[in-house]
Amino acid sequence: MLEEIVEKTQERLIESKKSKSLDQLKEEVQKLEITQDFPFKKALSEDEISIIAEVKRASPSKGLIAEDFDYLAIAKEYEEAGASAISVLTEPYFFKGSNDYLKEISQCVSIPTLRKDFVIDEYMIWEAKALGASAVLLIVSILSIVELKKFLDLAHDLGLSAIVETHDGDEIRTALNVGAEIIGVNNRDLTDFTVNIENSISLRRCVSGDVIFISESGIKTPEDVRKLKENDVDAVLIGETLMKSDDKKSMILELKNG
């Protein structure tokens, strides 16, 4: 499945470059104010465990998650409930995401946004900046070490934070070796889609306290959040649980206070 997603991303990238070249995109971004404040990293640096709430319409494993998808209302609800940041899916084929969702959400909330996509080219990092994101996702398993380092440095140069997503100890070592300041551990096995939050707990010891550690996928209950907090996890990224909730604000408050 991951190979299919990357293949589709390559096709999408070709079309994007046809409509707007990298040089044109760079010119657009260079007109923006670029600071080194890194609001996404700052938002996850609080003493309490932070919640990155995800705006997610569908997934390969679950299919369509939200038929009624008022993404702006959802984002505002997340912000009002005290989410530290918002993750926005922009991958259109498997997750039914859109660049427009990210652009509009970034304009209507004051908390930082993450572009959740399968970054395979520097174009997508420049694009994330143009769309208003404060952070991007870099997945170790789909990038070479050279690409990972190049993309991480570019993100930082553009004032973007980067979650470097890992699945095991070897990938964490790779992420740390290229200078990752934010490590995400995906609890979902991308080969069979099984989920186990113990993956984050067992890997937490691989990352020092000065690097932000995020647990991703499979976090469903206040007890899950409490357990991760007790094991020094700094932040959790939660999508499906929130998207399926009829009262997202109450769900975030429940998770935060669990």
Residue 247 burial (CB count, 10 A)? 11
- Measuring CA to CA, which residue among 189, 95, 182 is closest to residue 141? 189
Active-site pick, 127, 165, 171, 240 = 165
Q: Which of 41, 56, 129, 256 is catalytic?
A: 56
Give the active site residue among 96, 116, 227, 256: 116
From start to end of 42-134, where are the E strands?
A: 50-55, 58-59, 63-64, 85-89, 113-116
116 is catalytic: yes
From 129, 199, 217, 227, active-site residue: 217
- Per the listing, tokens 């100890």 go with 169
Which residue of the set 79, 171, 216, 240 is catalytic? 216
- 186 tagged catalytic: yes
199 classed as catalytic: no
Clarify whether 217 is annotated catalytic. yes
Q: Which residues contact 47 (CB under 8 A, 6 or more apart)?
A: none
Catalytic pick among 41, 50, 54, 199: 54
Catalytically annotated residue among 50, 59, 84, 186: 186
165 is catalytic: yes
Catalytic center residues: 54, 56, 116, 165, 186, 216-217
